[in-house]
Amino acid sequence: AWPGAFRGTLHFYGHTHGLLPDTRQSCDVGVDRWQYRPAAFPEILARLEATEALPEEVALGQAQDGQRKAKQA
């Protein structure tokens, strides 16, 4: 998680050597994930848009909200 994850902010990180999966809001921008070259911002945005997974914390929060609403109905 990172500050702003629940407000839709984007998170770019490196030094994970491709071990963490990308999400719609976060992306590994280390050169080892980009054929050992710097990634251009439009490429990073395209990767985010092509990724369906939400950040784990956001997905869990949405699931819990859905469960609460179902109980109230």
Residue 73 has pLDDT above 80, yes or no: no
Q: What percent of the chain has pLDDT over 70?
A: 100
The answer, as to whether pTM is greater than 0.75, is no
Contact 2, 25 (CB under 8 A): no
CA distances from 37 to 12, 31, 33, 72 (A): 16, 5, 9, 51
pLDDT, position 14: 93
Q: How many CB atoms lie within 10 A of CB 23?
A: 19
Residue 44's pLDDT band (cuts 50, 70, 90) = very high
- Close Cβ partners of 27 (under 8 Å, ≥ 6 residues apart): 10, 11, 12, 13, 44, 47, 48, 51
